[in-house]
Every structure is written in C-alpha cells, then in structure tokens.
Amino acid sequence: MNILSFATLFPNAANPHHGVFVENRLRHLAASGRANVRVVAPVPWVPPGLSRVGRYRGLAAAPRRERRSGLDVVHPRYPAIPRLGMTVAPLLMYAWTVGAVRRVIEEGFQFDLIDAHYFYPDGVAAVMLGRHFGRPVTITARGSDLNVIPEHTTARAWILWAARRAARVITVSEALGERAATVGIERAKIAVLRNGVDLAAFRPLPGKSVRRKLGLDGTVLICVGNVLEAKGQRIAVGALPLLPGAALMVVGEGPDRPTVEATAARLGVDQRVHFVGRVRHADLAEWYSAADVLVLPSSREGWPNVLLEAMACGTPAVATRVGGIPEVIAAPEAGRLMDQRTPEALARAVEAVLAARPDRAATRTYAEKFGWDETTQGQLALFEEILARPTAARPALLRAL
C-alpha cells in the first residue's frame, strides 16, 4: 500500500528536533516492508524581509525537499497568519499544499490513503486534500490538538467537521481517546495506537563513563523537552530546595527559560540548575543514562515519548498524573506518579524513587514492552481495513464544505 503522510510536526535539516516522534513512527512503518511512505511536511512561509530574524531563520532555511531516515519528504510553504489562524488556517494550508500533493502524484506516487498527524490545522487540511483527490484520510491526535485547541469555538467546529469525514481517528493514549469522545468525536471511529520507543537507539550506557564525559556527579535529575510553562521546569526547580545535593539538567529550549532561570536564582539553587540547551536526538541516550531520575511535571500530555526513552536507558521517571502518563508509568520499576502538580509533590516522589531505586535492568525490561512493533502492526491493520472498504463516491471539496 502507498501512504502519504501529512504533518507539520516533522523534522527537517534546519530544525532536526521538530516532531521527531512522527518521523520515528513513519520510519518504523516503512521498515515493515508492507507500506511505501512519502511525507508532505508543510513549513510556514517566511516573508523575505524576515528570513534572517530569530526563529524565522530556521523556517526559511528548511529545504524544499529532502530524504530523511529513508523517507522522501517535501516541505511546501503555507501562510501562517496568527490573528486569523483559528478561522482560516486549514483553508490556507490546503490551498498552499494541494499543488505539492499533485506533484507527488505526477512524480509517480499513486497514494492510497492520507495519514495526517496533529488535528488542527493539519488534520483538517488533510481531509480537504483527501476529498480533493478522492482518498481516505486518517488523523492522529497527539495531545494539545484535542486537550487545548478545541477550547476555541471555530477550531472545534473544524475539528469535528474533519473527524466526521475522516476514515478513522487515531489517538496516542486511552486518555486522549476519552478526550476525543468528550470533544464530540464518534467513539466507534476512535482507535488507540500508542507511541513507541526505539529500543536500539535508547539503551542503558555505562553510567560512570557517561557521567565523566558530561561532567556530572551526585544525584542528577533531568528534564527533557521544550522549556514551557506546561512542561513544568519551574516546578522541577522549585523542588530542589527540598532535595539537598540534587542537580537538575534542563535539556531543551523555549520561551519559559528566563522565568525558570529567575526562579532558580530566587530560590538560591541556580548553581544546581544546568541549562544544557537542545541536544541531538541521537545523543539523548547519554543524558538519560547519566541521570538518576527523569522528571516531567507537565500540566497536560498525550503520550510523552521522553518517559519511554528514559526508561529504555534504565532511568525511572517521576511525572504528573495527567493524560496518558499513568498508562506509561504503571509499575514501580517505571517510576512514580506525582499526587499533585507542586514542587513538594515532585520532591516526595523523587525521594520515594531514590529510596527504593529500581534496578536499571528492570526499568529497561519494562520499557521493552513498548517497542514500535505493536504500533506498526496496528497501523497496517487499520490502513488495510480502510482500504478494503467499498469505494464510495466522494463529493467535490467545495460541495463538501
């Protein structure tokens, strides 16, 4: 079968960290040998005058096409208009990417199905593309696209419009599946296919040697992800006064970093907080292996990949009881759930893990249950079921709208 994947959450040569989890899922799907995968990964269009300014530089530098992890990827541009985004974003994305999809067909890739990732605007635009080209569409919801975006009335209406017309809606956790139903998506249409972890890339490395290489000693906590209020790095910093001697490694960048730095200074723990910045995905195994505990005090999550990546390296996790996290941390060797999203609760949970520290081999064995094979087989079965359905006449896009 030929699958066209459509996602703005996808890395490129100029931004290799963006949406790595989508790339990993598609890489394993293609490696099954039962699906040919092409990727259309739109990138916001940058006016020439902004191409050398701040974050716009990376967007402008993204290649028009490339090959990543054995996948052919094209990056068409589309206009992202902040104030009008919730109203017209799907229409703009559709209008500016339909030509790129047509060229994929003209180049000889006759795709059978469009596989979209992230509901808004990507999934909505993908349904428009599916109706334009007469192909079924699946949409994978990943977290904030259902937990946050439907709070906007117009976006919610678009999401429900797309869900009714999609062949299936996929969520990455049971909790997100329940949220999808609460938003108004038909339960019979929802399938849960969790994210997995690359067990070859993430594996335990010798703790002493990686600690020497990274210059670490003592008790080491690690936060991995974008530095955002929702990810809770400030809460992790707030727990340090209650964890004497522990150091916190903040891996990632984001807009909340100045506030996190100010919190560390105010609490007098700035010498124990180390901002590592962005780390290549391929190098994260060293940081996980060097840490005693991964901490993730998020306010919301779909299925956070960092938990399984850390566990695959033998490092247990402490995280908030939100979204799909309880589905990941479901045994003592995996770590502990926080009772509340507070520094005090985080400190108590970390202390509990350190007091009864699980064997790293046991944590790794736990993570091995979450490899990609099960998810890949689930995708293939779902796609085959959709493609086996009788082909119905599909209305033209403008009539469907």
- Please check whether residues 177 and 239 belong to one and the same domain: no
* Nearest to 146, CA basis, from 157, 156, 161: 156
Per-residue pLDDT, 177:
95
Return the pLDDT at 58: 66
Encode pLDDT of 323-370 as tens digits.
999 999 999 999 999 989 999 999 999 999 999 999 999 999 999 999
Residues composing the chain: 401
* pLDDT band with cut points at 50, 70 and 90 for residue 397: very low
In this structure, is residue 201 part of a structural domain?
A: no
- What's the distance, CA 326 to chain centroid? 17
The arithmetic mean of pLDDT across residues 173-177, rounded, is 94
The CATH code of the domain that includes 124 is 3.40.50.2000
If asked whether residues 230 and 316 sit together in one domain, one would say yes
Residues 355 and 236 grouped into a single domain = yes
Whether 85 is covered by a domain: the verdict is yes
Q: In this prediction, what percent of the chain has a pLDDT beyond 70? A: 93
Same domain, 276 and 191: no
Whether residue 38 is predicted with pLDDT greater than 80 in this model: the reply is yes
Does 214 map to a domain? yes
Domain residue limits at 339: 207-369
User: How large is the average pLDDT for residues 298-316?
Assistant: 94
| 55, pLDDT greater than 70 | no
Between 302 and 100, the higher pLDDT residue: 100
Mean per-residue pLDDT, 141-163? 93
Per-residue pLDDT averaged across 227-245, rounded?
96
Question: What are 47's two structure tokens?
Answer: 């006016």
SS3 letters for the chain? CEEEEECCCCCECCECCCCHHHHHHHHHHHHCCCCEEEEECCEECCCHHHCCCHHHHHHHHCCCEEEECCEEEECCEECCCHHHHHHHHHHHHHHHHHHHHHHHHHCCCCCCEEEEECHHHHHHHHHHHHHHHCCCEEEEECCHHHHCHHHCHHHHHHHHHHHHHCCEEEECCHHHHHHHHHHCCCHHHEEECCCCCCCCCCCCCCHHHHHHHHCCCCEEEEEECCCCHHHCHHHHHHHHHHCCCEEEEEEECCCCHHHHHHHHHHHCCHHHEEEEECCCHHHHHHHHHHCCEEEECCCCCCCCHHHHHHHHCCCCEEEECCCCHHHHCCCHHHEEEECCCCHHHHHHHHHHHHHCCCCHHHHHHHHHHHCCHHHHHHHHHHHHHHHCCCCCCCCCHHHHC
Examine residue 185 and state whether it is found in any structural domain, yes or no.
yes
Distance between alpha carbon 127 and the CA centroid of its chain, in Å?
21
Let me know whether 176 and 218 are in one domain.
Answer: no
pLDDT at 57: 63
Tally of domains in the chain: 2
Mean pLDDT, residues 270-281: 93
> In this structure, how many other beta carbons lie within 10 angstroms of the beta carbon of residue 217?
11
pLDDT at 30 > cutoff 70: yes
Residue 333 lies in a domain: yes
Residues 141, 18 share a domain = yes
215 and 352 co-located in one domain: yes
Is the confidence at residue 115, as pLDDT, over 90? yes
The whole-number pLDDT of residue 49 equals 58
Q: Is residue 98 part of a domain?
A: yes
Query: How much is the pLDDT for 50?
Result: 59
- For residue range 68-95, what is the model confidence (pLDDT) as tens digits? 989 999 999 998 876 666 778 999 999 9
Specify whether 289 is located in the same domain as 380.
no
pLDDT of 19 over the 90 cut: no
Whether residue 57 is contained in a domain is answered as yes
**pLDDT of 392 strictly over 50:** no
* Residues 25 and 81 reside in one and the same domain: yes
pLDDT interval class at 395 (50, 70, 90): very low
Percent of the chain residues past pLDDT 90, beyond the cut? 82
Integer Cα distance of 131 and 147 in angstroms = 26
Residues 109 and 192 in one domain: yes
What is the per-residue pLDDT for 282?
85
Q: What is the pLDDT of residue 398?
A: 43
C-alpha distances in angstroms, 17 versus 12, 22, 214, 399? Answer: 8, 11, 21, 39
Clarify whether residues 176 and 284 are in a common domain: no
In a domain, 202, yes or no: no
Mean pLDDT estimate for the chain: 92
Question: Do residue 96 and residue 230 come from a single domain?
Answer: no
7's CB contacts (< 8 A; 6+ apart) are 19, 22, 39, 41, 116, 117, 118, 122
Once rounded to an integer, what is the mean pLDDT over residues 205-219?
89
**How far is the C-alpha of 89 from the C-alpha of 122, rounded, in Å?**
9
Residue 399 has pLDDT above 60, yes or no: no
* Residue 63 pLDDT exceeds 80: yes
Instruction: Lowest mean pLDDT of 71-80, 99-108, 258-267, 390-399, name the range.
Output: 390-399
